[in-house]
Structure 1
Amino acid sequence: MNEAERLKQQIKEMSEYCNAQGIADALRIPVEAVQAILEGKDVEIEKTQNDDQPIIQLKTTTKTRFVRNNIVTAISPGGGKGNTTLLTSLAAAAAINVPNKRPVAILDLAEFPKVPTAYGIRYLEVLENPDILWPSISTWDDSMGYSIDTCAIPHPDLENLYIVPGVMVADNYHELDLNKILKVIELLQRQFEMLFIDLPKNFFLAEKLLPFMDTVLITVTPEYGSLEGVVQLLPTLNKVNKIEQSFIVFNRVGYPGFFDTQECQEMLKNMMKQMPERVGSLPETDSIIKYLNSGKMETVILKEPHSAFAKEVNHILNQLCPHWSIAKPSSGSSDGIASIFKKLLGKKEA
């Protein structure tokens, strides 16, 4: 790697914790050059012999924008399948396992957001304190620019996990539009190592957002209606060209009356010609409701890290991030698929 490439790499690494102006001031180069490098434009860098400050020349050629981060969402055929549970659990596990404790974010775009609730944030506090400006996308001011510090809620026990609600109450949902959401996603993707997004229940809006997702987890409960729903969901995933980036996660496995995973696999094979691969099977547990009802910022991942549920979440995360050093379950996981997401992440490396 030559000197110019090293400088570019340094700028990309600094962008994880510093804005473009801060990088420019620290390196004594024009802020326009920093922005161009982060946008993937071809930048020519030369060094003078008697000055540490490089000469920057911008070309008009545009390359693929530098992207290191991965955007993960979950979608299900019907409500109540466990998308929020899956995403909040993965986000907590990612914050624990991410190298160098880099920041992780979870964005809640639901009309009735429950990601904050899953982490112990009570909306009654919002209603009882109307004078407090609770952070959410609906309160972000385009004219002032977006600031993560003022518009995200840090988790008190996981200092590198940030919760970003779209709205705090459903009445504010009309303040969101697709363009604003996409701006926020781009900002979060640049500043966080990994971004999890809980999509809105409005399927038309969710469909417009799916093309911007890198990985789509299809949350399925082991019962016929949910399995049939996977078949109904595939045309939409095919339309937005996300079939190859979609993977099945069975949820509530072991619940009385539900099929077992082998039965589900066989039924899905009979229902469709091309079935998305399965990456995990989350077991039924009452711990989720227990911690949700506790009113504290507690989750299964934090309180019961050696439980079968937590181990399976880590197993899924290990496939999402095969380059991370995630401790493997001591008692073998229900799946044997090895790092199937590596092909997806490899496309995103600079």
Structure 2
Amino acid sequence: MTARRTEVETWFLDHGLPYFVAEERDAARAGLRPRRLVPFLTLLLAVAVVAGLTVRWLSTRDDAEQAAGQAAGNGSSGLALWLSILVLGLLCYGATALHARPILGFALSRTLGSVRFLVPMASRALPLLLVFVTFLFVNAEAWQMTSNLPFGLLWFTVLLMLGLAVLFLLVRLPEEVDRVDDEVDDAFIVRACAGTPLEAASREVADDPGVDPQDFAQVAGFEKWNLILVLLVIQTVQVVLLSVTVFVFFMLFGSLVMEPQTQLAWTQLDTLQAAPYLSHVSLSLMKVSLFLASFSGFYFTVSAVTDDTYRRQFFSVVESQLERAVGMRAVYLATRARS
């Protein structure tokens, strides 16, 4: 039993489920204790504030007229940098102190290993969206709005879109976990554990009339959040990849059809900041493409969970992983109870 337990726990760690292992859960709980968490958050906030104030100070070293005209942009640049440092710091703390590195590693490898499915998914999801978003792209107001936004404020808008998408997923993904663990039965665990170290044990549990897999199926606490984080990272990376696809499309499309004179007329700028030897590829084109790509990413996020058509294409990639994890956990707990 000890050898099987070690093998199963190794499988959990390799598949991004560290909180299914008791020792890893205890280490994560220790990382959330105030005596460790509060000093880190204090240091992180101090670093973020200092970095934001430094950027603001460096940006206002011009003459008074330029500084007055750029005040809003300087403030937004500092805020965007502050948020970026805060997010990166929390990710680093989660990967180290909270032992979430296996979660991030597995989710990223699982998603990047499915890049070959990106083209089929994009070919199904993008056409209808691009029909709508392209009308915004060939719109003078959209170009004028994004061109007049300081880059710091534009980046803050992108982070805001990403934050809203993550918040939406954090609301909906727990419902997916609850739905799957309610479906656990004998056939479910046998199907979920096929090809895993618990394949034989799943059949034993299913054939035992005194054991009901549903008694061990409900996922809560750290284990539930483990599943949610795996799904969150996979879905987020998928959305980011598709958003990058939208960004590249608009950059190519704009460089082909948007003449510099048209860009100047639509942005109402005096001069156009263009790339060397590429007069059509301007800073304004990059800004409007980035804004529409971030908007498209939020649209993808909502559609991937709520719309049945998109759901089959996007969420089906991770649904099998969720079912296997829930089934493995139920068999693992049932086997320990039987022994």
Q: Same fold (TM over 0.5)?
A: no
TM range (shorter): under 0.3
Taking CA–CA contacts closer than 8 Å with sequence separation of 6 or more, which of the two structures ends up with the larger relative contact order? Answer: 2
Please say which structure displays the higher CA radius of gyration: 2
User: Of Structure 1 and Structure 2, which has the larger fraction of its residues in helix?
Assistant: 2
Please give the TM-score of this superposition, normalised by the length of structure 1: 0.23
